[in-house]
C-alpha cells in the first residue's frame, strides 16, 4: 500500500513553490548552444566541446545550503543518553557515544569511559565515549541542549497525515506522519520512497511510544545525499531483536535496542532517560546503498524569524542526478569520429613527406 502525505512539503502544504522550475537551481548549459560553437570550431575543439558537454550533463544536483535540525555537536553523537548509557558488548558504533544530565551520575557502562573526558573504545570508531563532557567540540552537554531544541523544532511541523499504529506493508513518500501507540508500530517491512528527490525527508510524530517487532525492516529507496529521517518519540522507543532500522530516534525518555538490532544510518538520542544497547550496530555515517548520506539528518532547514522563534521548512526538491541530453551523446560521437579522422590524415601526411624525403636523398 502506497500512502502520499496530505502535507508533503511542510507547514504550508504548497507543492507549487517547490516545483523544479522555481528552485533557483542553476540551469545546465543548453546543449544546442554548445553544439553550434563546436560545429564552427576546429576538429580538436569539437571533440573537447562534446566531452565538456557530456561531463556537465551528468553532474549531480548542486547542494543546498541549510541549517539542519540536528546541531553540530548533536549530529556527531550516534548514541546520546539523558541519564545513562548501558551496553552489553560487543556493539559496533560509528560516531560519538555520550551522556549528559545536569543532576545525574552521567554513567556509561559497557564502554570504556572517564567522567568529563572523551575516551577511545575499541567498539567505537569515528568518535569517542563522552561521559558528562562539558568542554571541547563536540561535547555531551552541548549535544543535549541541541537535542532539546531539535525535538521542539520537529514538533512544530504538526501532525501531518494520520496512519494506523502498525506501518507494516506501507510505501511512504516524504512528508510528516503521525503514528499512534500500539502493541507494535512495525511488525514487518516498511518502504520509504524518496521519488528521486535528493532532499527527501520523513518525520514520524510518535505521540507515545515507538515499538518494532522482531525482524522488522525499514528500507529507503530513491534518495540522495540531502535526505532525512526522524522519529520524534513522545516517551520511549524499543527496537526489538534483529530489527533492521533506519533514521534518527529522538525520544523524550529512553531508547532500547534489543539483541542484534541495527541502525546503519541514524542515531539513538534520548533527552531525559537511558539508552540501552545489546550487541548492536549503529552508525551516524551511512553505509551500504545509503553511503554518502550524513546519518539521514538532512531534508529540513531551520531559520530564525525576526522577532520570533525558529521556523522549520522542507528543503526544495532536487533531482538525485540528471542524465545527458541525446544531442550531447550524438555530438560526443561526431567529435570523437572527427578527431580520429584528423589523426589519420596527419599520420598519412607525415608518411608521404617521409617517402618524398627518402626519394630525394636517394
User: Using one digit for the tens of pLDDT, what is the confidence trace for 11-55?
Assistant: 333 333 333 333 333 333 444 444 444 444 443 444 343 434 333
Q: Residues 38, 110: one domain? A: no
Model pLDDT, residue 14: 35
Tell me the C-alpha distance between 232 and 339, whole Å. 59
Q: Give me the pLDDT at residue 351, please.
A: 47
* Residue 261 neighbours by CB distance under 10 Å: 25
Give pLDDT, residue 15. Answer: 34
| Cβ 72 vs Cβ 91: under 8 Å | no
pTM: 0.75
User: 95 and 196 share a domain?
Assistant: yes
- Residue 296 forms part of a structural domain: yes
pLDDT for 5 equals 73
What pLDDT does 30 receive? 43
Based on the fold, state whether residues 183 and 329 are members of the same structural domain.
no
Cell of 73: 555537536
Rounded CA-CA distance 26/28 in Å is 7
Q: Which of 315, 268, 313 is nearest to 158 (CA)?
A: 313
Q: Are 239 and 330 part of one and the same domain?
A: no
pLDDT value, residue 261 = 98
* Residue 199 is assigned to a structural domain of this protein: yes
- Residue 23 placed within a domain: no
- Beta strands 107-109 and 77-81: pairing type? unpaired
Same domain, 41 and 131: no
Whether 77 and 159 map to the same domain: the answer is yes
Q: How many domains, in total, are found in the chain?
A: 2
Regions of the chain where pLDDT drops below 70: 4, 6-65, 322-362
Q: Assess whether 251 and 119 both reside in one domain.
A: yes
Answer yes or no: do 219 and 301 share one domain: yes
Place of cell 579522422: 341
User: Which residue range forms the structural domain that includes residue 44?
Assistant: 34-59+324-362
Can you read off the three cell numbers belonging to residue 299? 531534508
Asked if residue 22 is part of any domain, the answer here is no
pLDDT in tens, 53-111: 333 332 334 344 579 999 999 999 999 999 999 999 999 999 999 999 987 788 999 99
| Pair (310, 351) in one structural domain | no
CB of 83 closer than 8 Å to CB of 274: yes
Count how many Cα atoms sit within 13 Å of the Cα of residue 62 in the half-sphere of its side chain: 11
Integer Cα distance of 151 and 34 in angstroms: 49
Boundary of a domain, candidates 276, 296, 314: 314
pLDDT at 139: 98
Query: Of 314, 333, 354, which closes a domain?
Result: 314
Looking at the DSSP bridge assignments, the partners of residue 193 are 221
Amino acid at each position: 500500500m502506497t500512502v502520499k502525505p496530505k502535507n508533503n512539503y511542510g507547514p504550508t502544504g504548497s507543492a507549487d513553490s517547490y516545483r523544479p522550475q522555481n528552485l533557483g537551481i542553476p540551469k545546465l548549459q543548453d546543449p544546442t548552444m554548445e553544439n553550434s560553437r563546436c560545429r564552427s570550431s576546429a576538429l580538436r575543439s569539437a571533440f573537447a566541446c562534446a566531452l565538456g558537454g557530456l561531463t556537465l550533463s551528468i553532474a549531480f544536483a548542486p547542494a543546498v545550503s541549510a541549517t539542519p535540525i540536528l546541531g553540530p555537536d548533536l549530529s556527531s553523537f550516534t548514541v546520546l543518553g539523558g541519564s545513562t548509557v548501558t551496553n552489553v558488548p560487543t556493539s559496533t558504533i560509528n560516531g560519538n557515544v555520550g551522556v549528559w544530565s545536569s543532576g545525574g551520575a552521567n554513567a556509561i557502562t559497557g564502554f570504556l569511559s572517564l567522567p568529563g573526558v572523551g575516551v577511545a573504545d575499541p567498539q567505537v570508531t569515528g568518535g569517542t565515549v563522552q561521559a558528562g563532557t562539558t568542554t571541547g567540540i563536540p561535547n555531551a552537554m552541548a549535544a543535549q541542549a541541541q537535542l532539546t531544541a531539535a525535538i521542539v523544532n520537529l514538533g512544530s511541523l504538526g501532525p501531518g497525515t494520520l496512519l494506523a499504529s502498525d506501518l507494516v506493508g506501507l510505501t511512504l513518500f516524504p512528508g510528516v506522519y503521525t503514528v499512534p501507540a500500539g502493541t507494535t508500530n512495525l511488525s514487518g517491512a516498511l518502504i520509504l520512497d524518496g521519488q528521486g528527490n535528493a532532499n527527501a525527508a520523513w518525520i514520524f510524530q510518535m505521540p507515545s511510544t515507538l515499538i518494532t517487532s522482531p525482524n522488522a525492516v525499514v528500507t529507503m529507496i530513491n534518495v540522495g545525499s540531502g535526505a532525512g529521517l526522524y522519529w520524534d518519540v513522545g516517551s520511549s522507543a524499543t527496537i526489538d531483536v534483529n530489527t533492521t532500522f533506519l533514521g534518527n530516534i529522538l525520544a523524550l525518555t529512553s531508547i532500547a535496542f534489543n539483541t542484534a538490532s541495527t541502525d546503519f544510518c541514524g542515531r539513538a538520542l534520548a533527552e531525559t532517560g537511558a539508552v540501552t544497547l545489546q550487541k548492536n550496530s549503529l552508525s551516524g555515517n551511512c553505509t551500504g546503498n545509503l553511503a554518502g548520506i550524513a546519518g539521514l539528518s538532512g531534508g529540513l532547514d531551520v531559520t530564525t524569524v525576526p522577532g520570533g522563534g525558529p521556523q522549520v521548512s522542507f528543503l526544495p526538491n532536487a533531482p538525485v542526478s540528471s542524465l545527458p541530453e541525446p544531442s550531447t551523446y550524438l555530438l560526443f560521437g561526431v567529435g570523437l569520429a572527427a578527431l580520429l579522422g584528423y589523426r589519420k590524415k596527419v599520420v598519412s601526411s607525415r608518411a608521404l613527406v617521409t617517402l618524398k624525403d627518402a626519394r630525394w636523398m636517394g
